[in-house]
Amino acid sequence: MSKMWAGRTSGVTDKLADDFNSSISFDCRMYRQDIQGSQAHAAMLAKCGIISEEDAKALRQGLQKILEDLDSGALEFDWECEDIHMFVEQVLTERLGDVGKKLHTARSRNDQVALDLRMYLRDELKEIKTFNHELLQAICEQAEACKEFIMPGYTHLQRAQPILFSHQLLAYAMMLMRDMERLEDAAKRMNISPIGSCALAGTTYNTDRAYEAELLGFDSVCLNSIDGVSDRDFCLEIMSALSIEMMHLSRLSEELILWSSWEFRFIRLDDAYTTGSSIMPQKKNSDMAELVRGKTGRVYGNLMALLTSLKGLPLAYNKDMQEDKEGVFDTIDNAKMCIRIMAPMIATMKVFPDNMLKAAKEGFINATDLADYLTKKGEPFRSAYKISGSLVAKCIAEGKVLEDLTLEEYKEASPIFEEDVYEEISLKTCVEKRISEGGTGPASVAAQISYIKEYLK
Ligand code: ARG
């Protein structure tokens, strides 16, 4: 069959070329946005006197029927069509005759696809926002439930200083709030309408772009038609923001995996979010967390792929740009699933404070506090650090912890030590005295929780 754009050429193309060229297999998911965009376009054409009110009404109703039929399954996609835009116009023309052929006045698929994609992503970002909200809530609630639990904080994956488990969880809440803001920001910049840019240069018809944009819920119209059809920054911004968010989720996943291992045993993930092994009867694997970690790779990959496809492209539209969709869809689908599954996984995990405390007691993580004790009594910090270090070395050699040393042993290292050293290096004191703003002390943790609760409102 000859193509809708037959004219200059016969419109008869090779079957292999058709398959290669076609995007309907993946852009069909934008049918709703495509139809809504066309309905607004028909309304604008009538408002500007470019087509009659009667034709516009027929077009809008015809489009509505196509939408309903696609929703219900009464109408199936024609995979022979080049893309979703051609498909909708083809069905409309089949059903309405010549009126259907008027729809594509004063527009092009170039501005149409840019419009559809912005509208599609706008809808997706709303859903992602809900899931992010749920995840933030889950983290915040778990942090609140665990606000007494002491664990070792790590640097270089070596036990470093005592912290509250809540404080560690809340670090992820901070990342997530930034992720949410980045997406919000991208959504705001994306909400500018490209429709009416037409092929690249605008049109000779006296159109009303602002009216059409308003009907579709856009804040304004893009000011340069060439940019309107060439710009895919909005895809890149979303893909970057989601890459960063996935990086955060993968770090959280990694910690959940580590913490639920027998080596740590700080938490246990609920059975609903783990799997067993087909051969090893004892296994409980953190597959969901591992998949979140793994999927981060493809989300990064999609971003790199689109950046690379766009690199060096001359203005304005080039078919290369059809390559934007599969990657951005894949990013949306996968990131959405990851964000979504993370919330119940965090909410249902069981936390073992005794194991955390035991680990906290074994790593000399109060050595900094021991040095600070001496410093506060007049010893310069660098020499206090040395004394504290030598006491740790002595403990390691004798198989002890700092709390086991007698006051005589302390005094041998420095006459400054008094009986109150024991109180000062107890893990509870170490945590409670971390009073600096944003530190691990209980007041700071409580402040973070109330900040997040306010944010969630
Ligand atoms: N399927 C195309 C895309 O996804 C739509 C725009 C086609 N425009 C054109 N002039 N070939 O980018």
Say which amino acid occupies 451.
Y
CA of 110 to the centre of ligand 1 (A): 6
Mutation choice for ligand 1 from 13, 86, 109, 116, CB with most ligand atoms inside 8 A: 109
Is the pLDDT confidence value at 237 over 70? Answer: yes
Handedness of CA 442, 443, 448, 451 (dihedral sign): positive
Which ligand 1 atom is at minimum distance from the Cα of 27?
A: 4
Q: Which whole-number Å values give the CA distances from 68 to 38, 82, 165, 381, in the listed order?
A: 15, 22, 51, 74
Is the pLDDT confidence value at 42 over 80? Answer: yes
- What percentage of the chain exceeds 90 in pLDDT? 93
**What is residue 279's predicted lDDT score, i.e. its pLDDT?**
80
Write out the E strands in 167-266.
Answer: 192-193, 220-221
Match 């939408």 to its residue by tokens: 67
Mean per-residue pLDDT for 113-139?
Answer: 98
CA of 81 to the centre of ligand 1 (A): 12
Q: pLDDT, tens digit, for every residue of 351-405?
A: 999 999 999 999 899 999 999 999 999 999 999 999 999 999 999 999 999 999 9
CA of 111 to the centre of ligand 1 (A): 9
Task: Give the integer Cα–Cα distance in Å for 245 and 126.
Answer: 16
CA of 301 to the centre of ligand 1 (A): 23
Provide the token pair at 44: 């604008």
Q: pLDDT, tens digit, for every residue of 200-235?
A: 999 999 999 999 999 999 999 999 999 999 999 999
**What is residue 56's predicted lDDT score, i.e. its pLDDT?**
98
Closest CA to 454 of 167, 146, 137, 182: 137
Which ligand 1 atom is at minimum distance from the Cα of 199?
A: 10
Task: Give the integer Cα–Cα distance in Å for 432 and 54.
Answer: 74
CA of 108 to the centre of ligand 1 (A): 9
Mutation choice for ligand 1 from 27, 113, 235, CB with most ligand atoms inside 8 A: 113
Which ligand 1 atom is at minimum distance from the Cα of 82?
A: 1
Is the pLDDT confidence value at 1 over 70? Answer: no
Q: Which residues line ligand 1 (CB under 6 A)?
A: 23, 27, 83, 109-110, 113, 317, 319, 321-322
Q: Which of the residues 25, 220, 261, 277 is marked catalytic?
A: 277
**What phi, psi does 150 have (nearest 5°)?**
-95, 135
Is the pLDDT confidence value at 117 over 80? Answer: yes
Residue 261 falls in the annotated catalytic set: no
Q: pLDDT, tens digit, for every residue of 243-259?
A: 999 999 999 999 999 99
**What is residue 338's predicted lDDT score, i.e. its pLDDT?**
98
Provide the token pair at 26: 């993946």
**What is residue 68's predicted lDDT score, i.e. its pLDDT?**
98
**What is residue 436's predicted lDDT score, i.e. its pLDDT?**
94
**What is residue 9's predicted lDDT score, i.e. its pLDDT?**
84
CA of 237 to the centre of ligand 1 (A): 21
**What is residue 168's predicted lDDT score, i.e. its pLDDT?**
98
Residue 388 falls in the annotated catalytic set: no
Record the pTM. Answer: 0.94
Is the pLDDT confidence value at 120 over 90? Answer: yes
Q: pLDDT, tens digit, for every residue of 399-431?
A: 999 999 999 999 999 999 999 999 999 999 999
**What is residue 276's predicted lDDT score, i.e. its pLDDT?**
86
Mean per-residue pLDDT for 111-127?
Answer: 98
Mutation choice for ligand 1 from 25, 77, 83, CB with most ligand atoms inside 8 A: 83
Say which amino acid occupies 194.
P
Is the pLDDT confidence value at 40 over 80? Answer: yes
Mean per-residue pLDDT for 272-300?
Answer: 91
Provide the token pair at 89: 């116009």
Q: Which of the residues 10, 72, 156, 436 is marked catalytic?
A: 156
Q: pLDDT, tens digit, for every residue of 153-195?
A: 999 999 999 999 999 999 999 999 999 999 999 999 999 999 9
Q: Do residues 145 and 454 make contact, with C-beta atoms less than 8 angstroms apart?
A: no
**What is residue 283's predicted lDDT score, i.e. its pLDDT?**
81
Consecutive H or E run containing 70: helix 53-72
Look at ligand 1, atom 12, and give the residue with the nearest C-alpha. 322
Look at ligand 1, atom 11, and give the residue with the nearest C-alpha. 319
**What is residue 277's predicted lDDT score, i.e. its pLDDT?**
81
